[in-house]
């Protein structure tokens, strides 16, 4: 690894074949839970560029916008 702070350069000095081999041999971590908030979070949370919200809270394309009712009327 090579870091030049003054020039804001960060380089990973690993051979391309070694890097590819490590990626190919990587296994995903086993899921610790099968239900509850943790699983819901892993399955449905959106990434930062998408708003960091649950995907089921987003509007669907076929949804029609409406004005919310305010007050008791």
Residue-level pLDDT at 73: 63
pTM of the predicted protein model: 0.45
| Band of pLDDT at residue 72, cut at 50, 70 and 90 | confident
Domain ranges of the chain: 2-57
Residue-level pLDDT at 48: 92
Per residue, what are the HEC states of the chain?
CEEECCCCEEECCCCHHHHHHHHHHCCCCCCCCCCCHHHHHHHHECCHHHCCCEHHHCCCCCCCCCCCCCCCC
- Tens of pLDDT along 15-69? 889 989 999 999 988 888 889 998 999 899 999 999 899 999 888 888 888 888 8
């Amino acid at each position: 690894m090579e870091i030049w702070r003054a020039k804001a350069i960060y380089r990973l000095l690993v051979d391309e074949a070694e890097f590819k081999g490590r990626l190919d041999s990587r296994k995903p971590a086993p899921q610790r839970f099968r239900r509850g908030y943790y699983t819901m979070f892993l399955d449905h949370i959106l990434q930062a560029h998408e708003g960091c919200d649950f995907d089921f809270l987003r509007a669907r394309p076929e949804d029609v916008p409406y004005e919310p009712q305010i007050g008791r009327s």
